[in-house]
């Protein structure tokens, strides 16, 4: 074990951990919101993320004709390209999420199927989507050309904050705050919270359950799509099974924070992002993925309701 | 307003919970359904609000067959249910609980303050607790909130499921006084109660349910004085009376 690395690299690891953490936060929101209203783990959320990454890759290469040899963009064009990629990822993931609910879950729910049925449908949907993309891409990773030149926004004593990391952290924070405010302050958001507390009593308030569930999937998908865009600006490559590790990590983050609890997803995501970075510095990067599993098992063993699990009944979503 | 429950049959899986119940509620009445546990009182109410589906028979509201209308649309035409156990949203504040009672009437800010005033006049206690989480209220306060929340939708008929359940005697009196008051201001009420004494004192007419059937229908005051009813549902006199 190399403790001195953690000491000397404390701040760079902190920045990497936060950037990764905010990607987890947003994907966790996708899991936790759906769990909040349906008590269902939407395993297809990892593929909703994966399709979002492909949307960014396709828009940057096909629409804006970037390739591996092109120069990064600047100024207004850079802004437009990034915005279009972001919107494409969000729209793709949002629409896919809504359709996944309509096709894979709604009928089971209205027919009164048990939760196990929905869970199997979730896993089936996940496999179908990732295998579909595997066939289309011949299992070959797709690189997203560098649109954004990765300069350091500032550098102090060798500790630098790269523009892509800054973008990820700032937009991740903003998006999370936006979702949190939407759910707590708006009329539709309150309906989502009401459904998460009681389906039956929500109907008695005149709430259209199907519409609220679609809305929940849409928001979860939009946010997961934004995370996919951020992932692409930082890592610049995607593959049909990219959602597996990210999805598992984000699910772990949601469980760590207390699944169904929006703010739990925030703290869980950041905690897991930071833990991954520090532990891989300490033990070697081959341990990075194992950290996720260890955290998941420990949470389930020690505090199955998660960090904010105590208050889950009160503050769901 | 006229609500007609017309020979409805309701199943839970393969068990027939309601075996042909017919009830009529006229404008301005308080009608009560009394009977033992499992008689089908709550199921009847849930069928009217749309939480349960009829397998045969009709629910007629203002001349319109609403048997297949989804629950959330029944709220819009004027049917509001206060569920058994109050059904407060525990993580929401008192104000949020009341606001969501008007969920389907969007963008009507003026109406909102008017209706909140009305509820706070009926239940001053709720105004004092306005920003407290619903789950932290006492049982009586939760019942007030549940009734207030249902009133926010401006119902033509209010369905009340066991409003006295788990409340102290003083609070039961209080809640029933308010139910009478709500009725006098023009809201029709269909009341399901275990506390038959109170229900019969407050209601105009009553139906007695046994194992999914109506076994008796009469003026509430007549049932109150009926020796057979007293023996079966009111205990041995004043013991169960509150």
- Tens of pLDDT along B119-162? 999 999 999 999 999 999 999 999 999 999 999 999 999 999 99
pLDDT at A286: 86
pLDDT at A115: 83
Angle, helix A10-38 to helix A209-235, in steps of 10 degrees: 160
Residues of chain A with pLDDT under 50: 311-317
- Our CA-based measurement puts residue A186 at a distance from the nearest CA of chain B, in whole angstroms, of 11
- Under an 8 A CB cutoff, do A187 and B75 touch? no
Distances from the Cα of A133 to the Cαs of A53, A239, B86, B156, in angstroms?
12, 9, 49, 55
- Select from A203, A209, A314 the Cβ nearest to the Cβ of B135: A314
- Please, are residues B164 and B177 in contact by the beta-carbon 8 Å criterion? no
Nearest to A224 by CA among A129, A91, A317, A102: A91
Structure tokens at A1: 């074990």
With beta carbons under 8 A apart, name residues in chain B contacting A316: 91
**In chain A, which ranges are continuous DSSP H helix?**
3-8, 10-38, 45-58, 75-100, 107-110, 115-137, 163-185, 187-197, 199-204, 209-235, 242-257, 262-283, 288-302, 312-315
* CA separation for the pair B130, B141 (Å, rounded): 11
- Our CA-based measurement puts residue B46 at a distance from the nearest CA of chain A, in whole angstroms, of 10
Give the strand order in the sheet containing B64-65: B15-26, B2-12, B56-61, B64-65
Structure tokens at B36: 């033992």
Query: Residue B55, SS3?
Result: coil
Query: Residue A159: how many CB atoms within 10 A of its CB?
Result: 14
At residue B238, does pLDDT exceed 60? no
Q: Which CATH superfamily is domain B2-86+157-233 in?
A: P-loop containing nucleotide triphosphate hydrolases (3.40.50.300)
Quick one: pLDDT band at residue B83, thresholds 50, 70, 90?
Answer: very high
Task: Choose the mutation target among A114, A206, A313 for the interface with B, i.e. most B CBs under 10 Å.
Answer: A206
* CA separation for the pair A5, A187 (Å, rounded): 49
pLDDT at A314: 42
pLDDT at B212: 95
- Under an 8 A CB cutoff, do A193 and B89 touch? yes
- Under an 8 A CB cutoff, do B71 and A204 touch? yes
Instruction: Kindly state whether A110 is in contact with chain B, defined as any CB-CB distance less than 8 angstroms.
Output: no
With beta carbons under 8 A apart, name residues in chain A contacting B91: 193, 197, 313-316
pLDDT at B242: 44
- Select from B83, B100, B133 the Cβ nearest to the Cβ of A194: B100
pLDDT tens-digit readout, B46-65: 999 999 999 999 999 999 99
Instruction: Kindly state whether B104 is in contact with chain A, defined as any CB-CB distance less than 8 angstroms.
Output: yes
pLDDT at B232: 87
List beta partners, residue B82.
Answer: B160
Instruction: Kindly state whether A204 is in contact with chain B, defined as any CB-CB distance less than 8 angstroms.
Output: yes
pLDDT average, residue stretch B202-208: 97
């Amino acid at each position: 074990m190399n403790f001195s690395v953690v000491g000397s690299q404390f701040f760079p690891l902190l920045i990497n951990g936060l950037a990764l953490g905010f990607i987890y936060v947003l994907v966790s929101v996708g899991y936790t919101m759906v769990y909040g209203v349906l008590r269902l783990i939407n395993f297809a959320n990892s593929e909703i993320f994966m399709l979002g990454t492909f949307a960014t890759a396709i828009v940057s290469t096909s629409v804006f004709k970037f390739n591996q040899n092109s120069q990064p963009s600047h100024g207004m064009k850079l802004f437009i390209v990034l915005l279009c990629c972001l919107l494409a990822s969000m729209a793709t993931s949002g629409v896919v999420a809504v359709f996944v609910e309509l096709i894979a879950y709604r009928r089971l729910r209205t027919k009164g199927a048990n939760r196990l049925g929905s869970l199997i449908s979730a896993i089936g949907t996940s496999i179908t989507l990732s295998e579909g993309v595997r066939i289309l891409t011949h299992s070959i990773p797709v690189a997203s050309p560098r649109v954004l030149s990765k300069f350091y926004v500032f550098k102090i004593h060798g500790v630098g904050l790269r523009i892509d990391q800054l973008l990820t952290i700032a937009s991740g924070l903003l998006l999370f705050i936006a979702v949190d405010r939407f759910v707590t302050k708006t009329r539709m958001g309150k309906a989502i919270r009401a459904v998460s507390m009681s389906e039956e009593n929500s109907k008695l308030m005149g709430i259209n359950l199907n519409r609220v569930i679609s809305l929940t999937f849409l928001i979860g998908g939009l946010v997961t799509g934004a995370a996919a865009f951020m992932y692409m600006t930082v890592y610049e490559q995607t593959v049909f099974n990219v959602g597996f590790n990210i999805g598992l990590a984000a699910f772990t983050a949601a469980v760590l924070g207390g699944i169904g609890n929006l703010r739990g997803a925030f703290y869980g995501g950041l905690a897991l992002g930071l833990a991954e970075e520090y532990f891989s510095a300490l033990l070697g990067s081959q341990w990075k993925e194992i950290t996720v599993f260890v955290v998941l098992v420990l949470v389930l063993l020690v505090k199955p309701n998660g960090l904010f699990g105590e208050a889950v009944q009160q503050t769901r979503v | 307003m006229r609500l007609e429950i017309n020979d409805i049959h309701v199943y839970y899986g393969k068990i027939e919970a309601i075996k042909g119940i017919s009830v009529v509620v006229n404008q301005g009445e308080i009608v009560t359904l009394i009977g033992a546990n499992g008689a089908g009182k709550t199921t009847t109410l849930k069928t009217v609000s749309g939480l349960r589906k009829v397998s045969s028979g009709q629910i007629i509201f203002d001349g319109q067959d609403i048997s297949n209308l989804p629950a959330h649309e029944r709220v819009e035409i004027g049917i509001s249910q206060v569920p058994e156990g109050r059904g407060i949203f525990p993580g929401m504040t008192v104000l949020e609980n009341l606001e969501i009672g008007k969920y389907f009437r969007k963008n009507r800010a003026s109406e909102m303050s008017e209706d909140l005033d009305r509820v706070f006049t009926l239940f001053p206690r709720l105004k004092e607790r306005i920003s407290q989480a619903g789950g932290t209220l006492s049982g009586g306060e939760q019942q007030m909130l549940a009734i207030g929340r249902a009133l926010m939708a401006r119902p033509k008929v209010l369905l009340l499921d066991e409003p006295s359940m788990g409340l102290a005697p003083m609070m039961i009196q209080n809640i029933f006084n308010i139910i009478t008051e709500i009725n006098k201001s023009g809201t029709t009420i269909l009341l399901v109660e275990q506390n038959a004494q109170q229900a019969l004192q407050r209601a105009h007419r009553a139906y007695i349910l046994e194992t999914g059937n109506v076994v008796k229908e009469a003026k509430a005051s007549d049932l109150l004085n009926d020796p057979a009813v007293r023996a079966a549902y009111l205990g041995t006199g004043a013991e169960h009376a509150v």
